[in-house]
């Protein structure tokens, strides 16, 4: 298993962002389980409603990233590092949000996209993470 410090370095996310994502995934999992088990009526909640906790987690992370980006830019002499972190967080959030949106459209039957097209933002994100992991200095 990976250590938290390794995940933070490779993903470029802070511990708070990882916690926010985990809480959103927990709430999403509960709602998804209720939806798939039939305890929620089919008409009461659609797929966008099911994915709402994940979108709310993205909004919270985006708000956090803007605050951190502004504080790093103002207080730090290394403006380039602040801009790099802000751009990485933006790429991460935009690609995951696009994936969730496309998945909602596919599950609700509103689009004729194939699953390979739906998962393409995740493939791009995995490539970016791989490039980032290769650029990081090796530490034991």
Write down the pTM of the prediction. 0.84
Q: Encoding tokens for residue 84?
A: 């790099």
Dihedral pair phi/psi, residue 111, rounded to 5°: -140, 155
Per-residue pLDDT of the chain (140 residues; tens, 9 = 90+): 778 887 787 787 888 988 999 999 999 999 999 888 877 766 678 889 999 999 999 999 999 989 988 888 888 777 888 888 888 889 999 999 999 999 999 999 888 899 999 999 999 999 988 888 787 776 55
């Amino acid at each position: 298993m990976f250590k938290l410090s390794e995940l933070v370095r490779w993903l470029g996310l802070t511990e708070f962002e990882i916690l926010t994502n985990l809480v959103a995934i927990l709430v999403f999992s509960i709602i998804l389980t209720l939806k798939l088990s039939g305890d929620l009526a089919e008409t009461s909640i659609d797929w966008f409603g099911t994915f709402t906790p994940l979108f709310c987690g993205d909004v919270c992370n985006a708000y956090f990233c803007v605050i951190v980006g502004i504080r790093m830019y103002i207080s730090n002499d290394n403006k380039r590092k602040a801009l790099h972190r802000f751009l990485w967080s933006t790429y991460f959030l935009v690609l995951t949000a696009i994936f969730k949106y496309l998945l909602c459209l596919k599950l609700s039957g509103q689009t004729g996209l194939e699953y390979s097209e739906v998962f393409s933002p995740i493939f791009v994100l995995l490539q970016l993470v791989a490039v980032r992991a290769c650029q990081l200095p090796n530490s034991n």
